Amino acid sequence: MKIENNSATSITSQKTESLNSVDRLQLQKPTSAPAARTTEKDHAILSDQAQLLSKALKSMEGTPEARMEKVEALRSQILEGQYQINYEELAKKMSGLPGLK
């Protein structure tokens, strides 16, 4: 007994042809509206942290760069155990900070 399934192959080829025509139609359609027709404008809202970071970066722009030779000298003193902390002077400076009394 021989079973032929010719209808399945014809249905499959019809679906393939219809899918190809849909693909061709989609390629012909414009993907977006022209810019002249859009009335909405883009906007961004920054979080509180982003605003604070922006202010910090702006304030840093006016400060001079670190003096690398001084930084290196302090680093070597610390590594060699020669750096001495003046605790009285440190306490005076800390007492002048806002929120410390």
Full pLDDT tens readout for the chain, 101 residues = 566 655 555 555 555 565 556 555 555 655 555 555 667 888 888 898 988 998 888 888 877 777 888 889 999 999 999 999 999 999 988 888 877 65
The pLDDT of residue 5: 57
- What residues contact 101, with CB distance under 8 A and at least 6 apart? 95
pTM above 0.85, yes or no: no
The pLDDT of residue 8: 52
51-73: burial string, b at 16+ Cβ within 10 Å, e else: eeeeeeeeeeeeeeeeeeeeeee
Task: List the chain domain ranges.
Answer: 65-101
The pLDDT of residue 75: 94
